[in-house]
Chain A
Amino acid sequence: MKTTLAIILAMFISAATGAENVGTSHAPDAAGKQDQLIDQVLTLSGMKRSLQKLSMQMAGGLMQAAMQAKPSENGQQKLIKVLERTFEPDLFVGHISAALKKNYSEQRYKNVVQILSTPLAKRMVELEAKDPNPEEMQAFYAQITKTPLSPTRISLIQKLDDSMQASASLNKVAITTVTAGALISGGDCSKARARIKKVIAQNRSDIETATRNSTQIVLSFLYRDVSDADLKAYLKMTENKDSKWMMNITTSALLEKLELSMEQGVRAIAKIIKAHAPKKTMFAPKCGQSMSPDQDDDASARGKQVTTSASARTANSLPGPDVDLRACLGLATSAEIIACAEK
């Protein structure tokens, strides 16, 4: 979550611009200069580093899901190679660079660089680059449970989240990743795969709620030492129309690439698993059979339970920092992954 958040945040930072003037000048004869400027944006914003982390994490998530099939050593080597190739960090960076290049606006990018050079933006990049310490996160959560954040602070965090589209993007990342992992676990069984998709679709709104709540907790944690006044200034930057313009480009490019890579990854992994996983016992569940009685088609009932608990949270409350759907991929079976994703 944190890396994904970091990338979304980094995207925002890269898009943030305090300049009101919208430059539309284009320099088609200066490709080198364009590349240089885009690279500067990606580096200064911390996006490059975050994209590298994100791609590695995506690959790790799928590898974990694939390992549930217990592939042979040879199969594992093949999996690593395929995942390295599919989630090559430079491919992600390249994809976003290409999107930025396609929509090149020297003035806007220069404005972005200018923003990234302000002390506040630099500080934010620095904060977002740090890997949150889980113990500190827990302590922070315990603290805000005891002494809730002020309504002003909560409102600022929620507005920042909306403005940066952090939850919305993270939600898409989470659903894509969980679906990919679960589809791998579903193996050859089309019924199981259809069921996984159905359960995820049924619980989409609950997943969204959980992701939004958890994102806002992480944001509160990351900005815990930032004053309300600075957050307000930061919010203003995010609401700038140039910021939004650039953020839309980078976000949609990232999500597009992610979806594509996941699809490719799942296909390649399924092929490798088929060839390299040990044969199952003849008594293993047949296609369409659930693993245990509580996984018999009762997804809607369980979904209801999740809805209740998720919607029971008030708009101004912030949930615990324990919701990371990708953690579900470590579970042994597709059914467990689904159940975890539901939660």
Chain B
Amino acid sequence: MYSCSPKRINDGPKAIQIYADRVARNFWRSDEQLKRDINNWNTPACVFDDGRPILSAVYIGYSQAFERKHDWSASLSRIEDLKKKYPDEAFVAMAEARYWAFYAWDARGGGYASSVSDDGWQLFRERMEKAESVLLDTKSYSASIPSWYIVMIKAQSILNHPADEIDKVFLEGVKRYPSYYPIYFEMLNFLLPKWGGSWRTVDNLIQWSVEHTRVKEGMTMYARLYWVADQYSDVKLFKDTFASWPKMKQGFSDLMARHPKSKWNLNNFAKFACMAGDKQTFLKLRKQIGEGVLDAAWPQNTSLDLCETKFGYAE
């Protein structure tokens, strides 16, 4: 497991950030290393301590590479150079697709849809179509990187492809990479109420995902996906959605059994126990956490202090 993850910090968002930094840096400085890293990480066994694939850092890393340079021509020119040097290489095709998708958002901006000009929409669409066509044109080799399916689901949903087409992309992706969680995360995002879906739709996806990964993953997918649903939306998870704490608890237990070293998972397990009002579980987990508190796991509205006070935790 560690042959592909030589870093000291190997758990939670910090670990992903370190690897994303590495991708961003090597995109500009060392394409050989970038290629080596991505090939090295592109295996189901290459995961952080929390079980998430290290390869997921590439998606963020590419965005950061373009964002930090903030020179779209220079970024594109770099991609063109890489294409010449590495024809038919997945890591380059993914960089190009990511570039167009990221560049599309630059045209649209981050404001409300009503604030975007007609020209902005036009450019947004054109660039997103470009991202999609890069993915389709290079699929024979670029889909060897699982994030192909993530960018594709994102592009097709933005381009308003029919939902059943997006289902097909998702199904193909998870059939090929059943343990690559970010594909499930992206599909969940597409189905959220804020984009026209519903919590029932999200729950149906989660139930389906659990069933299709149960043999290997137990109930972990239930915990992971409702965890992501909580991150992606501003709702009370156990009130506004169909999330079931007993199932989520089982999911976290399965997760801890598979990734016992992860403090990140443990902290989040405790956080959700607090959110669900499960005193006994919270206190038990809090004891397990000991000094290993990860601040990033405890947002303001569910701060550790708050939970400790609520359940009368004393060290």
Contacts and interface: CB of A to CB of B under 8 A. Distances in A.
Contact of A284 (B193, B199, B201): B201
Given A292-B240, A293-B240, A294-B240, A283 B162 contact: no
B239 A293 contact: yes
A284 B241 contact: no
Contacts of A278: 162-164
Contacts of A305: none
Contact of B200 (A279, A282, A285, A332): A285
B196 A332 contact: yes
A284 B193 CA distance: 11
A274 B204 CA distance: 22
Contacts of B240: 292-294
Instruction: Tell me whether chain B's interface is mostly helix, strand or loop, or mixed.
Output: helix
Contacts of B196: 332
Nearest to A290: B200
Interface centre among A279, A283, A291 (most CB of B within 10 A): A283
Interface in B23-81: none
Interface string B128-165: 00000000000000000000000000000000001110
Interface centre among A279, A284, A285, A289 (most CB of B within 10 A): A284
B198 A279 contact: no
Nearest to A280: B163
B167 interface: yes
B232 interface: no
Interface residues of A, number: 17
B205 interface: yes
Contact of B162 (A279, A286, A333): A279
A227 interface: no
B192 to A, nearest CB: 12
B242 A281 contact: no
Given A281-B166, A282-B164, A285-B204, A293 B191 contact: no
Contacts of A283: 167, 191, 201-202, 204-205, 208
Contacts of A282: 164, 167
Contacts of A289: 200, 204
A281 B208 CA distance: 13
Contact of A293 (B205, B208, B241): B241
Interface string A83-94: 000000000000
Given A281-B191, A283-B191, A283-B208, A291 B163 contact: no
A286 B254 CA distance: 29
A16 B202 CA distance: 58
B275 to A, nearest CB: 15
Given A285-B200, A285-B201, A292-B198, A279 B164 contact: yes
A291 B191 CA distance: 12
Nearest to A285: B200
B199 A292 contact: yes
B204 A279 contact: no
A275 to B, nearest CB: 14
B221 to A, nearest CB: 14
Nearest to A335: B198
Interface string A261-300: 0000000000000000011111111100111111000000
A332 B199 CA distance: 14
A332 B241 CA distance: 18
Nearest to A278: B162
A290 to B, nearest CB: 6
Contacts of B162: 278-279
Contact of A292 (B163, B200, B205): B200
26 contacts: A278-B162, A279-B162, A279-B163, A280-B163, A280-B164, A281-B166, A281-B197, A283-B191, A283-B204, A283-B205, A284-B198, A285-B198, A285-B201, A286-B204, A289-B204, A291-B200, A292-B193, A292-B198, A292-B240, A292-B241, A292-B242, A293-B239, A293-B240, A293-B242, A294-B240, A332-B196
The 6 A-B residue pairs with the shortest CB-CB distance in the complex, in nearest-first order? A281-B163, A279-B164, A291-B198, A283-B204, A285-B200, A278-B162
Interface of B: 162-164, 166-167, 191, 193, 196-202, 204-205, 208, 239-242
Given A281-B166, A284-B201, A332-B196, 11 more contacts: A278-B163, A279-B164, A280-B163, A281-B163, A281-B197, A281-B201, A283-B204, A284-B198, A289-B200, A292-B240, A294-B240
